[in-house]
Structure 1
Amino acid sequence: MRVFKFGGASVKDAAGIKNVYSVLQTAGYEDVLLVVSAMGKTTNALELVIKNYFDKSPELQSSVQEIKKYHNEILLDLFEDEKNEVFAAVNAQFAELEYFLAHNKSPNYNFVYDQIVSYGELISTTVLSHFMNFMGIKTQWLDVRNFVKTDSNYRDAEVDWELTQQNISKNVKRKILNITQGFLGSDENNFTTTLGREGSDYTAAIFAYCLNAESVTIWKDVPGVMNADPRYFENASLLNQISYREAIELAFYGATVIHPKTLQPLQKKEIPLYVKSFINPLLPGTSVSKGATLEPYMPCFIVKRNQLLLSLSSIDFSFIMEEHISEIFGLFHEYKLKVNLIQNSAISFSVCIEDKFDNFKDVNAILSKKFKVDFTEHVTLYTIRHFDEKAAHTVEENKTVILKQVSTETMQIITQES
């Protein structure tokens, strides 16, 4: 089998859904499993529903109605007859969502998040499956929660590989177009879990691993994996081939094209991953597989904006020892601060961190009791894999460099725009 993943941008409207049909006509759909994300910005819209729910906001109902209206307009564009059973199927899913909002008793934010946000994927795949059937392609709609089993770490669940393998091996039919949801799973009590933001790529890898798939293709609105983000760098170039190891390195440093967890199961079974354009499906795209590190070989640039550079030094000029570093990293873990660079000397310790959940204020209060704390907000971290002098100059030009770290293959530069 082949596994195809379509993200939210590819199914954001009726034209996108029709284009998925066209891509399948070009690429083939027998023995294919589609993993599909929520439509467009639906996940963000459902996050607003969650916020309104916990804030007991009078806007709660209108935020749900906005999502209903968005999906209903897509349905009306796709299907000629409002009596088509897809309308009832989607309405039933919205009724389930509204029932949960009215009857939930759990105060656990992460639990509630997973139960609500999952409707984005459930509805998008329902619409896509019905449209494929309407266009003459017979599909099997799979509720991924019956297949991918996880622990109960809501919003970042760990996969139970043994149970998941059994479910997928027994219940996925071949010789038909299977359609399922990315990002979701369920725990031992059958409550919905999610695999972390952007986890749909990971879902595709899970199915590919369990099915011993021929390949995974991630269909995107770009021609493949570029050596730099075209928003920040002129003349970004397409990478034709990347090794698994190099792709994992790029993901580790923050490249967003491939989800970090996606690559490990594929590498274990040497299943190639292709990143291709859903706009031009005949273009070759990028392959991630065993082989050359990079082809063509060139510097690769990764940009992480809105970082925080934190420097700690001992108040009494004593050394910062292992027990101090252990305590510091314990706090980072507890408060969900992601560390993207580390540099230390005898009496100081610097880290570049990402404060997604606005927890640094609390961490700073704790650290200030033991250390002298200096920090600079809103810095930019550039990582250059396979750097050369020209690449470094490209990054440093017209910027204030406040920290630079170099290893054999990688240069990291923290800047403030000047």
Structure 2
Amino acid sequence: MRIFKFGGASVKDASGVRNVCRVLQTVGYDDTGIVVSAMGKTTNALEEIIKKYLAQDHRYIDLIDKLESEHVSIIEELENACDGEDVDRVARFRESGIKKEISTIFKSLTEELLRNKSKSYSFLYDQVVSHGELMSTKIVAAYLNSCGIGLQWKDARELIKTDQKYRDAAVDWEKSERLVQQHCSDGLFITQGFIASDVNGFTTTLGREGSDYTAAILAYCLKAQSVTIWKDVPGVLNADPRVFENTVLLNQIPYNEAIELAFYGASVIHPKTLQPLQGKKIPLYVKSFISPEDPGTVITDTATIEPYIPCYIVRKDMVFLKISSRDFSFIGENNISDIFQELSEHKMQVGLLQNSAISFSICIEDKYAKLNELLNDLKTRYQISHVTGVSLYTVRHYDETALEFIEEGKEVLLKQRAQETLQLIVME
């Protein structure tokens, strides 16, 4: 088996759905499991529906109607022939009953909200947002079947079992492996990314990068030969092309290196996706759905990245925080434990830390706008200084040229070197 994952950007509209078919026809699809995310910005739309519902703003019903119209529009566009498509394909798709299936899913969504009695946001979130993946996979499955790519639609909630930690559920590997092998061991199938279910049959979701994680779970359970994540980029680059010029495609990356890059903030694969693959040494490919025959990047059990060049990561709008004791006493283990407890409670993401005898310096991301609360709490026990709007640059496999390139024209607030990693906090 091979596992293919197509994200929301790859199925955001009718042309994207058609392109999934083109990719499969180009690279082959025998014994392949296909994982698909919700279409485009559907998850964002469902989150807005939840927000209005909880605010008792009845306009959430209008948002549901709007989202349904958007999905029906994609179906209607797929019902029309494109670029000389044969008439039989169009007829098969029109006769698939897909509009009725989508209507049923939207009725389920509305009923979910009307009968909700739970006061848990996370529980409600999972029951509602999961409808996005159900709709996208139904549409993609109907279209692929009309193109002669005969596949079976599988409900991921019947394959992957988890605990009851809604929005970030932990996989029950033993149960999931048994179910996946029972239902998906051969042939061609399509299922949803991101969603699963608990012991009571309630929908759960797998947290950040959940669809990639689904692909890895299936690959692990099926002992698949590979996983391919299809993106709108040629593979993993050594830097973000929106920030850096002359980026270079990385042909291969060791598992550990990919985890390091993700830890420092690179837009590669989340570590939780890589861990089950690394356990069974299943290679993960990142390839372009625009040019599917190009080799892309492979993350595998190899010694080093290739080519061996500096990899640049930048995180902007960070906060540089310097914490000192009020009486110039040492900053010891108890102080550091206390500081990290505050950081955790205020949901701060730490990008860099450095301590001396009497101070502790950190660079944090204030993702949830809780900086003032954090500062007020820390000021009761420590002397604090902070700078907002800084950038944190990380360079893996740096050399002096890379260092000069990053420092040029910037005010460096802190520099930290390790054997393979250089980090700088700068004002730009």
TM superposition score normalised by structure 2? 0.94
1:324 to 313, 323, 335: 335
2:186 to 174, 179, 182: 174
Task: Tell me the distance in 2 between the aligned counterparts of 1:95 and 1:144.
Answer: 20
- Whether contact under 8 Å (1:37, 1:183) holds in the other structure is yes
- Other structure's SS at 1:295 match: coil
In the alignment, is residue 103 of structure 1 matched against residue 138 of structure 2? Answer: no
In the alignment, is residue 281 of structure 1 matched against residue 292 of structure 2? Answer: yes
Task: Tell me the distance in 2 between the aligned counterparts of 1:361 and 1:56.
Answer: 30
Q: How does 1:263-278 map to 2 (within 5 A)?
A: 263-278=274-289
In the alignment, is residue 93 of structure 1 matched against residue 97 of structure 2? Answer: no
TM superposition score normalised by structure 1? 0.96
Task: Tell me which residue corresponds to 1:53.
Answer: 53
Task: Tell me the distance in 2 between the aligned counterparts of 1:178 and 1:84.
Answer: 17
Deviation string 1:358-408 (CA, Å, 9 cap, x unpaired) is 233332222121111222222211110001111122222222221211100
Given the superposition, is the C-alpha separation of residues 258 and 140 from structure 1 closer, same or farther in structure 2, using an over 3 Å criterion? same
- TM-superposed CA distance for 1:173, in Å, is 4.1
Task: Tell me the distance in 1 between the aligned counterparts of 2:160 and 2:310.
Answer: 37
2:314 to 303, 312, 317: 303
Deviation string 1:259-312 (CA, Å, 9 cap, x unpaired) is 221111111111111111100001011111112311111000111122222221
- Whether contact under 8 Å (1:199, 1:259) holds in the other structure is no
- Other structure's SS at 1:331 match: helix
- Whether contact under 8 Å (1:184, 1:192) holds in the other structure is yes
Deviation string 1:314-342 (CA, Å, 9 cap, x unpaired) is 11111111111112212222332221111
- Whether contact under 8 Å (2:317, 2:389) holds in the other structure is yes
Task: Tell me the distance in 1 between the aligned counterparts of 2:387 and 2:58.
Answer: 38
Task: Tell me the distance in 2 between the aligned counterparts of 1:296 and 1:338.
Answer: 30
- TM-superposed CA distance for 1:66, in Å, is 2.2
Task: Tell me which residue corresponds to 2:31.
Answer: 31
**1:23 alignment partner AA:** V
Task: Tell me the distance in 1 between the aligned counterparts of 2:158 and 2:366.
Answer: 34
Give % identity.
55
- TM-superposed CA distance for 1:132, in Å, is 0.9
- Whether contact under 8 Å (2:261, 2:268) holds in the other structure is no
Task: Tell me the distance in 2 between the aligned counterparts of 1:15 and 1:26.
Answer: 16
In the alignment, is residue 338 of structure 1 matched against residue 369 of structure 2? Answer: no
Task: Tell me the distance in 1 between the aligned counterparts of 2:230 and 2:132.
Answer: 19
In the alignment, is residue 20 of structure 1 matched against residue 32 of structure 2? Answer: no
Task: Tell me which residue corresponds to 2:217.
Answer: 206
Structure 1: runs of 5+ lacking an equivalent = none
Task: Tell me the distance in 1 between the aligned counterparts of 2:373 and 2:285.
Answer: 42
Q: How many residues align?
A: 416
Deviation string 1:39-73 (CA, Å, 9 cap, x unpaired) is 11111111111221222224312222221121111
Q: How does 1:361-400 map to 2 (within 5 A)?
A: 361-400=372-411
Over the aligned positions, Cα root-mean-square deviation in angstroms equals 1.4
Deviation string 1:163-186 (CA, Å, 9 cap, x unpaired) is 1111111121412x2111111111
In the alignment, is residue 150 of structure 1 matched against residue 177 of structure 2? Answer: no
- Bigger shift: residues 256-265 or 227-236: 256-265
- Other structure's SS at 1:283 match: coil
1:185 to 178, 187, 196: 196
**1:226 alignment partner AA:** L
In the alignment, is residue 165 of structure 1 matched against residue 182 of structure 2? Answer: no
**2:179 alignment partner AA:** N
Task: Tell me which residue corresponds to 1:260.
Answer: 271
Deviation string 1:220-258 (CA, Å, 9 cap, x unpaired) is 100111000000000000011111111111111111121
Structure 2: runs of 5+ lacking an equivalent = 81-90
Given the superposition, is the C-alpha separation of residues 399 and 56 from structure 1 closer, same or farther in structure 2, using an over 3 Å criterion? farther
- Whether contact under 8 Å (1:53, 1:60) holds in the other structure is yes
In the alignment, is residue 350 of structure 1 matched against residue 350 of structure 2? Answer: no
